Structure formats: C-alpha cells, structure tokens
Amino acid sequence: MAAQAEDAMAKLALSENQGEAAAAAAPPAAKPEAEDSDDEDDAPPADGSAPTAAAKKKRKRKPKKKTKTPTTQTSPPSVPLSTLFPSGDYPIGEESPYRDDNSFRTTSEEKRHLDRLDMTYLNDFRRGAEVHRQVRQWAQGWIKPGMGLTEIAEGIEGSVRALTGHQGLEDGDNIAGGVAFPTGLNINHIAAHYSPNAGNKTVVKQEDVMCVDFGVHINGRIVDSAFTMSWDPVYDPLLEAVKAATNTGVAAAGIDVRMCDIGEQIQEVMESYEVTIGKETHPVKCIRNLNGHNIGQWKIHGGKSVPIVKNNDTTKMEEGEVFAIETFGSTGVGYVRDDLECSHYAKAADAPHVDLRLTSAKNLLKVINKSFGTLPFCRRYLDRLGQDKYLLGLNNLVSQGIVEAYPPLVDKKGSYTAQFEHTFLLRPNCKEVLSRGDDY
C-alpha cells in the first residue's frame, strides 16, 4: 500500500511539471478588443468576482436618430411658419404700380427710400398673409357637405394658431399673434358675422352657398380675407360676380382715390351679372349697407369705410393705410339686418370707464383685456379659456357700452349671398395686395 502510494505521488508531480512547462511555452492568448458601450455595467466588478451573464453580453451603441426639420406644410396645417421660413423673410404679396397722377411714385427715389425705412411691420403682415393662404388653400379642399360648422371653424382656427405659434391660452398670447377674429361661416341668406356657438348642430348641405371669412394677425397687424364655396355649379355666376367686383375694387384703390369712385366701379361690375336658380333668374345685387374698411393695429375696423355702391363719400385713401376691400352680392333685396343668435363681440376701442357692480362682469372684463384686448372674440373662445356662466356678465358689459355685440347680418330668407375680400397696404411706391394667392 505504501509503495503504491509513493509511485502515484511521483507520477502526479511529473505530470504537473510537464503541464507548467507546456503552459510557459505556449504563446499568450489574444485579448478581445473592447466594445464601445455607454453602459458602465460592462466593466468587471470591483471586488474581483466573476462578471454576471448580463455583464458579459456585449451591446453595440445605437446611432441617435436625427429629427428632420419639416420643409413642407402638413395636412391639416400644423408646421409653424417660422420653421418653413427660417430666414424670417416671408413671401411678398402682389405688388401693383400706382396709376395716373400717382404713377411717379413707382420710380421716385424719395418714395422708394420711405418704403425701405421700416420693414418690420410689413414682414408681420406678410407672415400673417402666408398663414392665411396656407390655411385657406387646405380648407378649400377639406370642407365638404355633411360637415358641421363647429368642426370647420375649429379646424381653421386650430391651423391658424399652429402656424402662427400662438395657441392663445396664456395671458397676452392671442394679443401677440394668432386668430384675429372669429371665423365667419355664413350660409345662404346669412351674409356676415355668423360663427357657431357651443352646441351648434348646423351641417353644410350640398345645395348651400357658404362664405368663409377669417383673419390672421401678427403683433396686431391684421390680414382679413374671405372666399365663398358652393358645390352646385348653378351658383357659379353669383360667385364670379362677387369675385370680379372685389378685384375691381382692389384695382381701383390707391393713394388719394375717393371712396365714392371705388364704390361706383364695384357696383357697375357686380350688377352686370345674373344667376338662374331653378326657373327663376335673379340679378346679382350689391348688399348696399355692407362695406369694406381700413384696418388699424389690433383694430379690425379703423374708422374709414369703403362702399360697394355709388355714393357721395369723398373721403380719400392715404399713404401708409391698410384696407380690406370686401364685396357682398345677393339674390335677395341687397340689404341686411340683425338676426339670429349673437356670437361675435369686441371690446370698444373707446370703452367708457364704468364702475361695474356685477362680479361676473368685472371678472370677464379682466379676461377680455388679457386675452383679446380690442380684437373680436366669440363665445367659443371664452369656453376654450375655461370660462363658464359668463352670459350675464357679458350682457352687462354690452349694456354698459364696454363691449360691442355684432349679431349675424341676414338678407331675405331663401336668398343666396356671396363674399370675397382682400387686404392691401398702400406703400409709398406701390400697392401691395397682401392676401393675394393662386386661389383668388
């Protein structure tokens, strides 16, 4: 037993010596290359213990995806205009040279110098005009019979807010830019100032004629433009008459031009058209108590009116003024009156200082001052700001003359009305039609 054990021990020692010699003679094993990793857990534990299976697993770094800057507008429009025009230079409107006695302005170095003095406000107008063009061109393809007025109004207004970058939910944001006034959706005999209130169930029908009137502003520089839609070609002559009349008014306008001369030319063109509906032919009439107007900063109606019929108003347009030429045609009597539920309101620019006793009126006035200033608003906008049970306070502000109500304006029931409108600026050396587009 002892001899066998000694022999076994000798053999074991010899085997260990041979193993050590072989290990010393073998070349060193290549170390694996380190993998790039952001995970510190891949390093061996500090205490020298064996790494876990999770730590042994090698992970490759994933390249970060780069966010592409949009270069085209979406449908519905949602890309802010500042993203599409990073330089901050926005498309120029239609520039028209002055005519007749004012033709010298086009080449006058003095007038050209004046035109270059301050371009900041002009760029605000151009930015608002481009927002209007992009939103309305989308809306013209999107609006269809069967849609509700609330859906249409909120779709247009939501796109305007997205493109201007002003959602209007914070104090002062809507005053800085965004929606200039409630979207007017005026169907058939309703000519102006109709916007759906909460709960409105009106749906556009195939046989309807609908005027779409909305505005955009940047820093109070308002672009006001409107168009009319119909889905039955029988109404095409009505739309053509009004569009032609608006273009005539825009072409006639200029520095030192009298309002009466513009109105006469508009009426002559408009009333040269007629439209046959069923078996009855109707002359297209100007709605004589609706007018165009000049536009002030944060004031949609600046104080001057542009008639659309012949009259005796010798007031002249002046250099630097902004005007909206809007013409209204009707198959009815050509005269509108107040009717239906009111949706449009605006704080009066010369609102009196009144000691309000009604708490709801006081609170609502604070909201109006912070969110709209003198810009028009509607009841849906108050709902959107979280206001409720405000009608009593709103009516009190109206009765005190602090806020003005603008109810819908309607012609004879059963008649059809249409509207087209453009905003232009009388620059020192040319007239720029800001809202002009490929559509109208």
What is the domain-level CATH number for residue 349?
Answer: 1.10.10.10
Give the pLDDT band of residue 36 (cuts 50, 70, 90): very low
Kindly give the pairing relationship between strand 274-277 and strand 280-283.
antiparallel
Same domain, 396 and 368: yes
**What CA–CA distance (Å, rounded) separates 42 from 57?**
8
Looking at the chain, the whole-number percentage of residues with pLDDT higher than 90 is 79
Count CB neighbours of 270 within 10 A.
Answer: 27
428 CB contacts (<8 Å, ≥6 apart)?
105, 111, 112, 114, 115, 319, 320
Helix 359-371 vs helix 391-399: crossing angle, to nearest 10: 80
Q: Give tens-digit pLDDT for 121-132.
A: 999 999 999 999
pTM for the whole thing?
0.84
Same domain, 200 and 264: yes
Assess if residue 273 is contained within a domain.
Answer: yes
To the question of whether residue 321 is assigned a binding role by annotation, the answer is no
Mean pLDDT, to the nearest integer, of 26-55? 49
**How far is CA 24 from its chain centroid?**
81
Residue pair 439/138 in contact by the 8 Å Cβ criterion: no
Structural domains in the chain (count): 2
Residue of 157, 224, 411, 432 with catalytic role: 224
Same domain, 215 and 181: yes
Q: Given CA atoms 411, 156, 437, 430 in this order, what sign does their dihedral have?
A: positive
Residue of 240, 301, 319, 339 with catalytic role: 301
Structural domain of 178:
118-340+414-440
Q: Say which residue the tokens 């009815």 belong to.
A: 332
Exposure string over 28-56, b if 16+ CB within 10 A, otherwise e: eeeeeeeeeeeeeebeeeeeeeeeeeeee
Q: Known catalytic residue: 293?
A: yes
Q: Known catalytic residue: 189?
A: no
Mean pLDDT, to the nearest integer, of 275-298? 97
Assess if residue 250 is contained within a domain.
Answer: yes
pLDDT value at residue 191 = 98
Q: Known catalytic residue: 264?
A: no
Q: Known catalytic residue: 213?
A: yes
Biggest alpha carbon–alpha carbon distance for the chain: 142
Q: Give tens-digit pLDDT for 339-398.
A: 999 999 999 999 999 999 999 999 999 999 999 999 999 999 999 999 999 999 999 999
